[in-house]
Amino acid sequence: LPQDLPTFTGRDAELDRLQELARDNPAVVISALAWMAGVGKTQLAVHVGHRLAAEQRFDRILFVNLRGFHSDPAQPPADPGAVLDGFLRLLGVPGQHVPHQLEARTEALRQKLTGLRSLVVLDNAADEKQVAPLLPNVPGCVTLVTSRRNLGELGSAARFPVDVFRPAEALHYLEAAVPQIPVGSDPGAAARIARRCGHLPLAL
């Protein structure tokens, strides 16, 4: 997993619910309301992953940025076959033994993760077609998917939409981001900045 943020702010109710979903479902899609970018989907998934790992150590952790909505047209969405090739090599499959067909690679991933406690994070997914071959769907494996879309055609996945910060969370996040800057003579300034940023984590 990427490093967790020591300054991770708020989302207490969401974190509790998300951990419950991750324990009870083979896959959880963390999506944005109204396709909004910058609400903190990736950081939420990473934070939950670290919390789950603290409960009981994972045997394997796989993380990939699927580049579903990359701003650079030279960086198209990741090909699921290539992602599976990378996963299998990380799991110890020699390159010459990686199957050629997409379906066979999916099955090989499931075989490698069967019997293990594992976490798979598929970040920034474009659509169901990209994600479906990457879902292990084996006991003991938690899969977290982040996307601007809710990926409604992934029938086995639970949905967890994420909105902007609540006002108090936004204010706390803003103040924690710049602790060296004094509040000044206007106590309402920080709250106005948070409102004008729409309480959006990326804007803050």
The band of 153, judged by pLDDT with boundaries at 50, 70 and 90, is confident
Average pLDDT of the chain is 91
**Full-model pTM:** 0.90
CA distance 54 to 48: 10
Residue 176, pLDDT > 90, answer no
CA distance 127 to 19: 23
Residue 138, pLDDT > 90, answer yes
CA distance 3 to 19: 18
CA distance 78 to 8: 28
Q: Nearest-CA neighbor of 84 among 111, 102, 69?
A: 102
Residue 34, pLDDT > 70, answer no
The residue behind tokens 């729409």 is 198
